[in-house]
Structure 1
Amino acid sequence: MTPASSVAPLRASFVMPVLNEEDYVATAVASVLAQDGLDERELLLVLGASTDRTDEVVAGLAAAHPEIRVLHNPRNAISMSMNIGITEARFPVVVRVDAHSVLPPGYAVTALRSLRTSGAVNLGGRMHAEGLTRYEQAVAWGYNSPGGLGGAVYHTGGEAGPAESAYLGVFDRAAVLAIGGFDESLSRGEDWDLNRRLIARGGLVWFEPALDVIYRPRSSVRALAKQFHASGRWRGEIIRRLKGRVPVRYYVPPVLVAGLAFGAALVLAGAITGGAAGIVLAGIGLLPALVYGAWVALTALRADVPGPVRLRLLGVLPTMHLSWGVGCLLGILMPSRGHNAFAGR
């Protein structure tokens, strides 16, 4: 006899928060509309208060595709946009989509079937960053490597199994509503926090390696620094709220920043002190920068990328680490307020 789960309709509501994404949203939407094998689907685009042509682009897409529903979130935060979309969703499974992502063919069907067979309340695959320019390719390498964003399985890949969080997320809508949805006081790290609460309630969060989603990284130093500073700031907020109960890897960037700052202070003290004692202080103070610089150079040298991309890693990796670390320290030391950190990962 065929199990009931295998013949039950595959129905999904895709939810995509969108803000200032005129260059990316059409591609992301096209990847959703290309998903086949579903019995029913809808795409909810939740618009923030964009300052570019995003709303115009979305209006054209909605006019051409009746399965698109346009919702609005003038307060911008991703957590709020996701809650709006989940509340308005008509189907039992919600598939989160980032406006910077491109879903591969078969993504939705694979995800829904895996959700059923694993018994998970949320699952995700790998966030596979791919850049177009040399700079974007360097950023992408940082995303995909433990040397950039750390060793989370949804960045580096791995075997199917339980996970602490999930990239994007394919949710059991009822399970998410049962825990109150996303925490709207968080503007970043909201997905990690949601999965933490799902697991605490006895739910299973699952990594499915068959889901490999292309992500388009930031294309400039300024945009990358802004993104990582905001991400670090809100991760620090979560660390402060949970009194440090987070994976150890999240402490590496803020410890790095603190070490470099302490080293700089010793160099300054050595310059003021002068003499042999000052030279010793300055020498000790230079060690953190020298060790980190050597590590960055060695990591870039060993990266399996073309030479021009390898050179850009010398700037990309410190931008990632230091922007995130400074933001994290600020988030730990003082509460983060406001909901203006609406942006993709």
Structure 2
Amino acid sequence: MTWPAVSVVMPILNEERHLAAAVRHVLSQDYPGELEVVLAVGPSKDRTQEVADSLAAADPRVKVVANPSGRTPSALNAAIAASSHSIVARIDGHAMMPSDYLRVAVETLEETGADNVGGIMAAEGETPWEQAVAAAMTSKIGVGNARFHTGGEGGPADTVYLGVFRRSALDRVRGYDEAFLRAQDWEMNHRIRQTGGVVWFQPRMRVSYRPRPNVRALARQYFHYGRWRRVVARQHKGTINLRYLAPPVALVGIVLGLVAGFFFWPAWLVPGAYVLAVVGACVPLGGGLPLSARAAIPVALATMHMAWGAGFLTSPPSLGADSRTARAQQQAA
């Protein structure tokens, strides 16, 4: 086959430690076609801008563009606009892809006719806490049946991790909606599918992911995931399912059970059953992990569930009100 040229776009913010290695991973890909890397650099608090500029000065395949807002969807749109090629791959500034990542992606695009292909967000931890979160993030009890977390057979999917796109699809949906500070990938993949495109999960595309380093950071991450997933559900009717409703339902049931238990003790069976479920989950999930990591798995699961549920339940109607879909709905009304 004739290998198409690929533009790799990277939103960059505070990535001084990882940026040079991430770019090296891209430029050393086992890919026969032409490559370029576009770094959209936000206002970082470290030496990220200097590192990016030095990478561009050292290799003509690397280009740097500004992202004054520092927001991920704005960075992606700026990098896409500055890129040149018919295939566009989104990569994060600290991602370490396998050497055949782009080759497999382009082969899959050609074989399936899909508009976007992506693979597995392979969570891997170094500390016991990170190992516990990684186990939770790659399990169905932690994240439901999302294949880009848990793996599975290749095929059409609602969304995938990162993504390698046909530029024609990005042009068709006008790129990322910059109002979505979270869930921007899910939202854009939904629009790609709504306009007749196919999003394809390819399990051979694995990208290592480092989980949040402590409970507070994990809770903040999943709280915002829940808030923005509620925005997607409000604006794109019919996109919600039991997997997304489970955490808020569990949170409401636990809170009501704890309160009602003071008046009717059997109500305490509801939070008790949840505790038993997450504790029991650490047995199959903790295989091969040290005891300290296995003991932390229930904490990681509960943090993910409760924070996501709280974010979903408290998501304000004003969140995402400036998005394209919200504006179109207001104009139609």
In structure 1, what is the Cα distance between the partners aligned to 2:203 and 2:26?
19
Partner of 1:101, secondary structure, is: coil
- The 4+ residue runs of structure 1 with deviation greater than 4 A are none
Deviation at 1:299, TM superposition (A): 0.3
Q: TM-score, normalised by structure 1?
A: 0.87
Any stretches of 5+ residues in structure 2 without a counterpart? Answer: 323-333
Partner of 2:147: 153
Partner of 1:299: 281
* Aligned partner letter, 2:278: V
Alignment of 1:62-211 (within 5 A): 62-211=56-205
Deviation at 1:244, TM superposition (A): 5.0
* Aligned partner letter, 2:282: A
Q: 2:309 aligns with which of 313, 325, 336?
A: 325
Q: What per-residue deviation string (whole Å, max 9, x for no partner) do you get for residues 28-51 of structure 1? A: 222212213232111111112222
* Aligned partner letter, 2:74: M
**Contact 1:10 1:109 (8 Å CA) reproduced:** no
* Aligned partner letter, 2:6: A
Deviation at 1:337, TM superposition (A): 5.3
Structure 1 residues 232 and 23, CA, compared in 2 at 3 Å: closer, same or farther? Answer: farther
Partner of 1:287: 269
Partner of 2:161, secondary structure, is: coil
**Contact 1:257 1:326 (8 Å CA) reproduced:** yes
In structure 2, what is the Cα distance between the partners aligned to 1:314 and 1:250?
20
Partner of 1:168, secondary structure, is: strand
**Contact 2:136 2:301 (8 Å CA) reproduced:** yes
In structure 1, what is the Cα distance between the partners aligned to 2:223 and 2:56?
34
Partner of 2:325: none
Q: Structure 1 stretch 176-185 or stretch 116-125: which is displaced more?
A: 176-185
Deviation at 1:312, TM superposition (A): 1.2
Deviation at 1:327, TM superposition (A): 0.9
Q: What per-residue deviation string (whole Å, max 9, x for no partner) do you get for residues 171-222 of structure 1? A: 0011111111111111111111111111111111111122111112211222
Structure 1 residues 328 and 26, CA, compared in 2 at 3 Å: closer, same or farther? Answer: farther
Partner of 2:318: 335
* Aligned partner letter, 1:320: M
In structure 1, what is the Cα distance between the partners aligned to 2:178 and 2:279?
40
In structure 2, what is the Cα distance between the partners aligned to 1:32 and 1:9?
16
Partner of 2:41: 47
In structure 2, what is the Cα distance between the partners aligned to 1:228 and 1:142?
13
Q: Structure 1 stretch 45-54 or stretch 132-141: which is displaced more?
A: 45-54
Structure 1 residues 285 and 50, CA, compared in 2 at 3 Å: closer, same or farther? Answer: farther
Deviation at 1:170, TM superposition (A): 0.4
Structure 1 residues 34 and 193, CA, compared in 2 at 3 Å: closer, same or farther? Answer: same
Deviation at 1:264, TM superposition (A): 3.1
* Aligned partner letter, 1:330: T
Partner of 1:23: 17
Structure 1 residues 52 and 266, CA, compared in 2 at 3 Å: closer, same or farther? Answer: farther
* Aligned partner letter, 1:292: Y
In structure 2, what is the Cα distance between the partners aligned to 1:286 and 1:62?
60
Q: CA RMSD in A?
A: 1.9
Partner of 1:324, secondary structure, is: helix
Alignment of 1:178-257 (within 5 A): 178-243=172-237, 245-257=239-251
Structure 1 residues 110 and 221, CA, compared in 2 at 3 Å: closer, same or farther? Answer: same
The number of residue pairs the alignment matches comes to 320
Any stretches of 5+ residues in structure 1 without a counterpart? Answer: 1-5, 271-277, 340-345
Fraction of identical pairs, as percent: 40
Q: What per-residue deviation string (whole Å, max 9, x for no partner) do you get for residues 292-332 of structure 1? A: 1111100012222422211111211111111111111122x
Structure 1 residues 220 and 21, CA, compared in 2 at 3 Å: closer, same or farther? Answer: farther
Q: TM-score, normalised by structure 2?
A: 0.90
In structure 2, what is the Cα distance between the partners aligned to 1:18 and 1:338?
26
Partner of 1:312: 296
Structure 1 residues 137 and 60, CA, compared in 2 at 3 Å: closer, same or farther? Answer: farther
Structure 1 residues 136 and 60, CA, compared in 2 at 3 Å: closer, same or farther? Answer: farther
